[in-house]
Each structure stands twice: as structure tokens, then as C-alpha cells.
Structure 1
Amino acid sequence: MDLQSAAPDLELETLSRRYAAAIDHRDIAGLLSVFAADATMRVEQPGHKVGHLSGHRELEHIIKVVNRFSRTAHVLGQSLFQVDGDRAEGEVYCTAHHFSSSASGSGHDLVMHIRYIDRYAIGQDLSWRIVHRSVLVDATEERRVQGDW
């Protein structure tokens, strides 16, 4: 993506907002609605094997992965996009919090500092969808937190 010509785009940014909300609310239908039916995802995280998901059937497993946490909160940061007709690419920053708790009310927050590198296309319904998402986890940290989830 050419950063000199990249710009904000509300429609494309909205896809990432809907993605984040769907994960935090454990909404499989909402999650799948942002992806093309044959979309792919690549996940790169330091110290882990690169993961690959393909199509809605595999993408819905994202919800099962986050279900091991009591709560999640995805906070989106800056985003830039480059639109070319019915295709686009973009980069979206995210800080994702993954909370777990103990009976004592104390818990942990696994914080992931993420960049989503996306490719988009306009579907038959004339709406944008993610056709490929690379999830690049730049760093993780563990924080001790108080909470009753």
C-alpha cells in the first residue's frame, strides 16, 4: 500500500469496527458478515506457528478461540486505506485485551498489539467485504487486573 496516497475511508473502517464488536460480543453471524464467503486469514504471532483460516466455516472458529477468555475488548486505532474501484487495501491498528479472572476477583489481561493488513472487494450486494486479513501481532504483554467478569 502506498502510504502517500492512502486515506481514511469510513465504509472500510466500519468493517473493522464490526469485526471487533462481533468478537467482543461473541457474535458469529456478525463476524462472518464482514468477510467474503471465500475470505482467508493469516495470523502471525511471535513464538507461534503461522495460522491460516479459509472461508466462513473456518473463520467462525475465531469465536471459539476467544471464548476461553472471560471478556475481550478490541480498541481500534488509526487506519488508512487505498481504494481502486471495487478493490481496496488497508492497514488498521488494534490493541486487543483478553481478560481472564480468578475466584478472588483478580485476573490477567493478555494485551495484543496488532496490525490488520486487509484486502477488500465489493460483493454482489454492493457492500465492501474483507477478502483477506493478515493479523500481525507485533507484541504481547500480560497485565494483572482487578475485575469481576
Structure 2
Amino acid sequence: MDPSPLATHPPQLYRLRAPNTATSPKICRDMVALLLEATGHGELADTARLLVSEMVTNVGLHTASLDVRLEAVVRHDRVRVAVYDDAPDAEPHPKSPGPQAEDGRGLLLLAGLAQDWGVARADSCRMGGKEVWFELHAPSPN
């Protein structure tokens, strides 16, 4: 079987900068889903859409950032997505929301669905502020 076309290429980097508005979660999640479909990682698109939507929504809810910066790095066997904002001190922490709570599950979803995730502050974040990131791995071929 021939290796994936991405297997023989260096990682592919994609960036999007969007205003911190109510439409940005949809725009960001749709862009990531389209990117994953186009690069042969369609099986990761639904999970990535959910996680991107949660991360971008959190920027709107918990920071005063004027914009949201998204970066996706696609490799043949995984994708890493980071969302950047301008609030280095607003570090997210997972909550234990009650059964009737309408929010507070975003980081729990990250922890449960991503193979890895984390937060980096301004000193290690080249775009300023902080980044919240996740990584999804492509299923192993049988």
C-alpha cells in the first residue's frame, strides 16, 4: 500500500485570524473541518469541529480579545490545532458543571476527546497572550 501523500511531505501549517464575534466559532470550525477533509483526515473533522467551536467560544466568553487566532498543523498521522487570544492571565481550568448547567464542559471535552491538549502562556506563546491547543491522531491503518 502506498503511503499517504502527507507522509512524504513536511507538516502543513494553516492560520486564520478572525474578529472575536458570535460568528467566529462557526467560521473557525468550518475552516478546520474543510482543511481536514482536503488533507485526507476527514475522520477527524467532527471531533475537531466540536473542540474548535468550544475553544473559540471560550475566547469570546472569557477574554476581552479583539480577535481570535487559529493555527492548524497537519501531519500525515495527526493534526494539532491551537487557538490564541490576548489574555495571558485568563488561564482556563476544567469545571465540574451541574447536570442543568448550560456551559462549563469545553475543557472536559478537550480532555476526553483529544489525544493531548494544553495551555501555553505568553512567554512560550509566540503570538502573545496564551494558546489553548489540542492534538488528534489519525486512526492506524489496519
With the length of structure 1 as denominator, give the TM-score of the two structures.
0.34
Task: Name the structure with the higher strand share.
Answer: 1
Task: Name the structure with the higher helix share.
Answer: 2
With the length of structure 2 as denominator, give the TM-score of the two structures.
0.35
